[in-house]
Structures are given as structure tokens and as C-alpha cells.
């Protein structure tokens, strides 16, 4: 039996290695301009990218335009794709950027405030009204089919800026710093906006957080 060497890197799992090799070949095929390579990219990633664009834009036509622009941008930039991330992650960033640009372009009125959807506090800093025990987080509630639709409806009712930071951070998996960069705001501002969005969402969903008797 060979002795364990802590300095020797552990081999990657066979399945992960095979997936990485398959993706590297797909990228190479795209760079060579092989017939069918781009069509496969669209088939493989199109549905997920469309779901991301829909969540951000809430407009079917704009979302589809956004996905088309994403694939066009990816086709033009494939030679600059650095394989430190996966194709899926790279495309996700492109479609998110494209969707956020469309949001900024169509903004023409001030954003609706969160007033009325956050807890109220008195002048001494104490919360006004009953305090409910939060048994589940919004992310956990989304995993439960019986409440998923109500959670999504509550998210959709948040003002645009708060809804977007919540989706980027809690649904799409970006870090707070990455979400701030995508939104063009400071990390501090993103943290404040995210906290307010989560608080408002929990207030909207308060009955769902209570443990069943």
C-alpha cells in the first residue's frame, strides 16, 4: 500500500475530468467555427439564459432579445474566453449584464420606495408590532413547491433595484461584490439594498415563516 503524500495533489474525479474535457472540446469547436457547434451552444444553454433574463426583465420579448444578444456577444468573444470559469458561468455573466443594461435603458421614472414593506420602529429603536419567529429563509421556501409561487410573486412585487440585487445574490449565486459590480454600485450600497430587500421580503412572507402547529 502506497504511503499518503500530502504534497501530491489529489486526482480529479473521473466524471469531473470527463466533463471538463468535453467542455474544452466544445470551446475548441466554437473557435474553429465548426458546423453545428454554435447551434449546440444555443440548445445547451439557451433555456437557462432565458430564465435568467426573464427574472430580471419580466418582459418576454426583451428577455428573448437579451438572450440573442448574449449568444451573439459570446460568438464574437469566444477567442477571448478564459477557461478559468465554465462556459455556463461566462454566459450567465453576459446575459446578466445585457439584461441589466436593458433595465437601465428603459428607466424613466423614480423607483418605487420600500416604505410599508419593512418593519416599523419607534423613536427608541424598538420594533413596533409582533415579532414572528422565522423558521425558514426565502431560499428554503423556494425549494418547497407549495410555497414557491407565493415567494416568486412576493419577489416580483419588490421595487426593481431591490428585486434585482436579491435575485443576483440569493437566486443566481453572485457574491455581494460581484452583484455590486454588475449593478454599478458600491459594495456597501449593495449590502444595504440587499438587507432591505430581504427584510421586506420576509415581512411579505411572514405567515409562511411560522412553524406549522
The pLDDT value recorded for residue 206 is: 73
Report the distance separating Cα 49 and Cα 53, nearest Å. 6
pLDDT reading at 125 higher than 50: no
73, 81 in Cβ contact below 8 A?
A: no
Q: What is the pLDDT of residues 184-207, one digit of tens each?
A: 889 999 999 999 888 888 888 776
Lowest average pLDDT, out of 86-100, 112-126, 196-210, goes to: 112-126
What is the residue-averaged pLDDT of the chain?
77
What share of the chain in percent tops pLDDT 90? Answer: 34
pLDDT reading at 95 higher than 90: yes
The pLDDT value recorded for residue 122 is: 44
Report the distance separating Cα 63 and Cα 53, nearest Å. 5
* In 42-187, beta strands by DSSP E: 120-121, 127-128
CATH code 3.40.640.10 for 15-106: no
Reduced to 3 states (helix: H, G, I; strand: E, B; else coil), residue 97 is helix
Lowest average pLDDT, out of 24-38, 135-149, 160-174, 183-197, goes to: 135-149
Q: What is the pLDDT of residues 138-154, one digit of tens each?
A: 566 566 555 677 778 88
The pLDDT value recorded for residue 112 is: 55
Specify the CATH class of 120-209 in words. mainly alpha
Q: What is the average pLDDT across 58-75?
A: 94
Q: Where in the chain is the domain with CATH 1.10.10.10?
A: 120-209
Q: What is the average pLDDT across 106-127?
A: 50
What is the DSSP annotation of 154-166?
HHHTS-HHHHHHH
Q: Where in the chain is the domain with CATH 1.10.1740.10?
A: 15-106
The pLDDT value recorded for residue 103 is: 85
pLDDT reading at 99 higher than 90: yes
Reduced to 3 states (helix: H, G, I; strand: E, B; else coil), residue 3 is coil
Q: What residues contact 58, with CB distance under 8 A and at least 6 apart?
A: 156
Model confidence at 126, in pLDDT bands (50, 70, 90)?
Answer: very low
Amino acid at each position: 500500500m502506497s504511503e499518503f503524500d500530502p504534497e501530491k495533489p489529489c486526482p480529479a474525479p473521473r466524471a469531473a475530468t470527463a466533463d471538463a474535457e468535453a467542455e474544452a472540446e466544445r470551446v475548441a469547436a466554437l473557435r474553429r467555427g465548426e458546423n453545428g457547434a454554435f447551434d449546440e451552444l444555443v440548445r445547451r444553454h439557451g433555456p437557462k439564459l432565458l430564465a435568467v433574463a426573464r427574472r430580471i426583465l419580466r418582459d418576454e420579448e426583451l428577455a428573448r432579445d437579451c438572450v440573442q444578444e448574449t449568444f451573439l456577444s459570446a460568438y464574437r468573444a469566444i477567442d477571448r474566453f478564459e477557461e478559468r470559469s465554465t462556459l455556463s458561468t461566462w454566459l450567465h455573466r453576459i446575459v446578466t449584464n445585457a439584461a441589466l443594461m436593458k433595465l437601465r435603458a428603459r428607466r424613466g421614472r423614480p423607483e418605487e420606495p420600500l416604505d410599508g414593506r419593512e418593519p416599523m420602529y419607534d423613536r427608541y429603536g424598538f420594533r413596533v408590532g409582533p415579532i414572528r419567529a422565522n423558521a425558514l429563509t426565502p431560499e428554503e421556501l423556494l425549494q418547497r413547491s407549495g410555497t414557491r409561487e407565493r415567494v416568486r410573486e412576493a419577489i416580483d412585487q419588490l421595487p426593481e433595484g431591490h428585486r434585482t440585487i436579491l435575485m443576483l445574490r440569493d437566486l443566481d449565486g453572485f457574491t455581494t461584490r460581484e452583484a455590486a459590480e454588475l449593478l454599478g454600485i458600491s459594495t456597501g450600497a449593495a449590502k444595504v439594498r440587499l438587507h432591505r430587500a430581504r427584510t421586506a421580503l420576509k415581512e411579505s412572507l411572514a405567515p409562511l415563516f411560522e412553524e406549522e402547529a
